[in-house]
Chain A
Amino acid sequence: MSPTQWDLPVELCCRPMAFVTLTGLDVVYNAVHRAVWDAFCANRRADRVPISFKVLPGDHEYPKCRPKRTSYEWYIPKGILKTGWMNKHLNLVPALVVVFYELDWDEPQWKEKQSECATRVEIVRQSLQGRNTKVAVVLIQKKTPLPPGEDVIASERAAALCNACELSGKSLFVLPHTDHLVGYIIRLENAFYEHAQTYYYTEIRRVKSHKEFLNKTTHQLLFVRHQFKIAFFSELKQDTQNALKNYRTAYNLVHELRAHETNILEIKTMAGFINYKICRLCFQHNTPLDAIAQFRKHIDLCKKKIGSAELSFEHAAWMSKQFQAFGDLFDEAIKLGLTAIQTQNPGFYYQQAAYYAQERKQLAKSLCNHEASVMYPNPDPLETQTGVLDFYGQRSWRQGILSFDLSDPEKEKVGVLAIQLKERNVAHSEIIITLLSNAVAQFKKYKCPRMKSHLMVQMGEEYYYAKDYTKALKLLDYVMCDYRSEGWWTLLTSILTTALKCSYLMAQLKDYITYSLELLGRASTLKDDQKSRIEKNLINVLMNESPDPEPDCDIFAGKTAQKLWADRISLAGSNIFTIGVQDFVPFVQCKAKFHAPSFHVDVPVEFDIYLKADCPHPIRFSKLCVSFNNQEYNQFCVIEEASKANEVLENPTQGKMCLVPGKTRKLLFKFVAKTEDVGKKIEITSVDLALGNETGRCVVLNWQGGGGDAASSQEALQAARSFKRRPKLPDNEVHWDSIIIQASTMIISRVPNISVHLQHEPPALTNEMYCLVVTVQSHEKTQIRDVKLTAGLKPGQDANLTQKTHVTLHGTELCDESYPALLTDIPVGDLHPGEQLEKMLYVRCGTVGSRMFLVYVSYLINTTAEEKEIVCKCHKDETVTIETVFPFDVAVKFVSTKFEHLERVYADIPFLLMTDLLSASPWALTVVSSELQLAPSMTTVDQLESQVDNVVLQTGESASECFCLRCPSLGNVEGGVATGHYIISWKRTSAMENIPVIRTVITLPHVIVENIPLHVNADLPSFGRVRESLPVKYHLQNKTDFVQDVEISVEPSDAFMFSGLKQIRLPAQAFYSYQYFCQATGSTHG
């Protein structure tokens, strides 16, 4: 039995196309013929008509047509469908034979050529005697033909040729081999296609015509056969709708056949074929649900048709093939654009195919377990004369026998034996694995990760059965983590058990140990006896001995494994295996916990390592080491117990390193942190636990960080959700779940024992040298060294503040931009216990607003921790927020010499500038002096002496000054004329002598200067006497370049008597002054 016996025949799976043979073409030696042939068969795109062409010689012998049956009365069919039938109509019996012949219409030897052509046609006809195959003639011509009707000779000769060849005019074609060969060919083949369709149509009619002769008792098989043939011819005719209809009828008919153990295989085979055709056509018609429904029906109908029990594996093989074929069809349809979904995709069919393949293997295993002495029968009952079966699905030793009784039971027995023995050689695992991997590919595509994993497990197990342990292990190892991460322990245990067997059989030490560790752990659902066995084996392996074989292993493979293990023992080399536990669930759990989230550097760092074993028996470890991010601490955190290899299990309850199952063991570690690590995090990077020792084999379990393995996070979640009350334990024991890993701690500096005090008088005034007095007092018991002060603006505030804040220790000079905002590490020496020191700090703030100032004092002190002398650096800081305010407000105004408010001043006319300085400081201010710096455009009328020197201003008091100024004519200046600056030198009244004076510069406002045409100035005596004359002098000044007419009228008040001109009119020269006198006498009142 060949492994491909169950494969569907190629002729069934292909798309049937009309078969047309081309004769008379010499495609080897004739270039023109070659070109014609190429045009037919090369680059056939989907838009060309579906024809399968074949070049055959003119005298080719086609299959003989059997003489027509005149009556079916005595005919008894021997089977449903002959194995050669489909191939015959696809590739042997053409629908049309085309005779190519080189002949031009103007051929001189026309007669001879015509008769040669007729002979060729005749030869073809002879060979096809009895068939309906059409014959056509194509004349290959050198000349381009004239349009029809114009060439009289051509029409005459064509008619003559048709006559000679007994052809209808429709079957004669002309092919000029000129430029447009492909175009001609396409027209030709379309004509051929029509002929072929007519042929298949007549074939269908012919088969249908047999029907009336059939009767239901003897011709049951023929009903199926004929229906199948009609459907198949319909397909060849490209009439897929009718093909589908006829296949459906055929399918129903095949199930109406009387089934018996002897013909069940034939029925199933044909049912399978027809089902395949139906499903294929349904997919082609884009009705996938019909295809699925048909397939389900097919499976339901055939599932139970097992047939002979001795050959039940055949049924499984057939079932498997049905599913596989449907999966292939489905997949093909998807490639052509069909959309599949998660719950309905080809994967399911491949999976089911694999399932039946597995069943086939199981059945074969139980049915074909013949003794080695059983020989394959001779002569081979599976051999036939022709090498193939006559009918699909029949037994080679009783072909064509329709009787349900086994005429020759002995022959039957031999046949069955032959099949069984052949089945034994089938590579079942290979078939199963191929199907599974097909399914995996599909499920991967349709987002079914778990299904994919499940199938991969099956693949792994199949590889295990096929003894390909490397591949098995690779697959199993790949999927294990999926089950582990989702916590499906039963499934994980099952996979691990297989993996352990594989690693045992290959004597893979590290894998063997890893799987053992996990199978002993809490994720394993194995029974205790199994765990005990595995633990014992693990101990054996660690003592450099061979483990006991795993149960249910192949005997032969087990023997090989024992040898391999023996070789491993003698092999020298590295016997230390480090196994990272983060990816699996070992039988020891570990948690590290620092006692506190931070430790002062002068106290020892303490942490506990908790260990718990889940294996059935107590186990002793040889070494525990903890690694830190600062490796210098590693040396302090090692526990090693000298024990011989064989003591692993002895004295179980003694010693720190012996773990009793289920009990939590706590190990305390202590070390003194390095002073350099102050401010840093100390982290446990890993915990290593060694099992076994260097003389045997040693396994180092490595926990990353502070413990925890692949199952820990899920367990934590479960524990958090659980409402279960934990039973009370004795005081010295803890619940494992309640231990929370704390793998890092901070080292912080020693608590300082000094006081830092700040003294100052807020708020600060803009630009002043503000004094802060820092007092540091030591309360330490010993001398403190290297006291350093860092003071100034606290970093991390607005960047502009840094630009506008300056700090110095020296108050005697004003600081400028070059001074820093923060003074760092000012050494201030040592301090004895109780001693105190004072430091002055001057701050200059250029802008108002609040600032935070930092005063940070650090020092060194010698102290001891755990009897170890250490130098600690301590520090204390103090922050203070200081508000800065303006010391005073300055108001400036312009008034006339009569103290009238001026919006603008007049050119050359004197006016007064008045300043008003109002103290805003809560503390008394001393104005040391003031100064007016005039702009070049201003001139002074008298001395510019300060009028407020050494004036002390309390809060809210003000100091004013007045200056008489004049502005020469400048023409019209846009925006006014600059006046100058007003500079005030001041300090706090309370400030010390040596504190520098602060100069505050105020820019005076611009003033608008206006030219006036006439200026009148009255010169009045400061007082007059009653009844005495009071001379009043008016100066009139013409400020323009022109002579002006001036009319003056004087209107004295009633209080005065008036003398002089009351009204005059005079011309005023340009830039000329007049004096005008008038005398008034009278009395003033009031």
Chain B
Amino acid sequence: MAVCIAVIAKENYPFYIRSTPTENELKFHYMVHTSLDVVDEKISAMAKALVDQRELYQDLLYPTEDCKVYGYLTNSKVKFAMVVDSSNTALRDNEIRSMFRKLHNSYTDVSRAFDNMVTSIMIQVC
């Protein structure tokens, strides 16, 4: 299940971050923050290769023992991060993709709708 969802600005400060369970909030904050290392490196690799970024989904960023962090990068370099429990092996790649796409869509709509979406995804996958 998605245990934490974050939206991060181009400059890498968090726009929005929410996790469940809340008592381990700090751990997820750190996890999302450290995963930016990988995103940064990917962005700079893309800039070097001078390729147009087509693929918004950034794949698994950091695998840890108990959690997996997935990333998604918009064209304006706003990042989405999702932390998923490692034990949830049923969650397939394309499901994570579609969750990210949903997040992206609602993010581009309005922030209020976005907040609801986060809630719904969290409930949905719990």
Q: Give me the interface of A with B, judged by CB distance under 8 Å.
A: 342-343, 348, 352, 355, 447-451, 454, 457, 483, 486-488, 490-491, 494, 714, 717
Contacts and interface: CB of A to CB of B under 8 A. Distances in A.
Contacts of A454: 30, 33-34
Contacts of B26: 490-491, 494
Contacts of B25: 490
A714 B13 contact: yes
B79 to A, nearest CB: 12
B38 interface: yes
- B17, B37, B41, B63 — most chain A CB neighbours (10 Å): B37
B41 A488 contact: no
Contacts of A486: 11-13, 33
A-B complex: 8 closest residue pairs judged by Cβ atoms: A487-B13, A448-B37, A451-B34, A450-B34, A450-B37, A486-B12, A454-B30, A454-B34
B57 interface: no
Contact of B14 (A447, A451, A488, A494): A488
Contact of A488 (B29, B61, B62): B29
Contacts of A717: 11
A352 B65 contact: yes
Contacts of A450: 33-34, 36-37
Given A352-B65, A355-B65, A491-B26, A448 B34 contact: yes
Contacts of B36: 450
Given A450-B37, A488-B29, A491-B33, A343 B11 contact: no
- Interface size on B, as a range, is 20 to 34
Contact of B29 (A343, A355, A491, A714): A491
A809 to B, nearest CB: 64
Interface in B14-53: 14, 17, 25-26, 29-30, 33-34, 36-38, 41
Nearest to B62: A343
Contact of B30 (A343, A448, A491): A491
Contacts of B33: 450, 454, 483, 486, 488, 491
A343 B34 CA distance: 11
Contacts of B34: 448, 450-451, 454
Interface string B84-116: 000000000000000000000000000000000
B60 to A, nearest CB: 8
Nearest to A343: B38
Nearest to B25: A490
B11 A714 contact: yes
Contacts of B62: 343
- A348, A448, A457 — most chain B CB neighbours (10 Å): A448
Given A450-B33, A488-B14, A491-B29, 7 more contacts: A343-B38, A343-B62, A450-B34, A451-B37, A457-B30, A486-B13, A491-B30
Contacts of A447: 37, 41
A887 B34 CA distance: 82
Nearest to B12: A486
A451 B32 CA distance: 10
Given A450-B33, A454-B30, A494-B26, A488 B13 contact: yes
18 contacts: A342-B38, A343-B38, A343-B61, A348-B64, A355-B65, A448-B34, A448-B38, A449-B37, A450-B36, A451-B37, A457-B30, A486-B33, A487-B12, A488-B13, A488-B29, A490-B17, A490-B25, A494-B26
- B29, B30, B64 — most chain A CB neighbours (10 Å): B30
A488 B11 CA distance: 11
A488 B14 CA distance: 7
Contacts of B17: 490
A343 B41 CA distance: 11
- A487, A488, A714 — most chain B CB neighbours (10 Å): A488
Nearest to B32: A488
A483 B33 CA distance: 9
A870 to B, nearest CB: 48
A918 to B, nearest CB: 67
Contacts of B30: 454, 457, 491
Nearest to A319: B65
A448 B26 CA distance: 19
Contacts of B41: 342, 447
Contacts of A348: 64
Contacts of A448: 34, 37-38
Contacts of B12: 486-487
A490 B61 contact: no
A343 B71 CA distance: 14
A342 B63 CA distance: 12
B44 to A, nearest CB: 9
A92 B36 CA distance: 54
B14 A342 contact: no
A491 B11 CA distance: 17
A498 B22 CA distance: 20
B62 to A, nearest CB: 7
Contacts of B63: 343
A362 to B, nearest CB: 14
Contacts of A342: 37-38, 41
A343 B61 CA distance: 7
Contacts of B37: 342, 447-451
A480 to B, nearest CB: 14
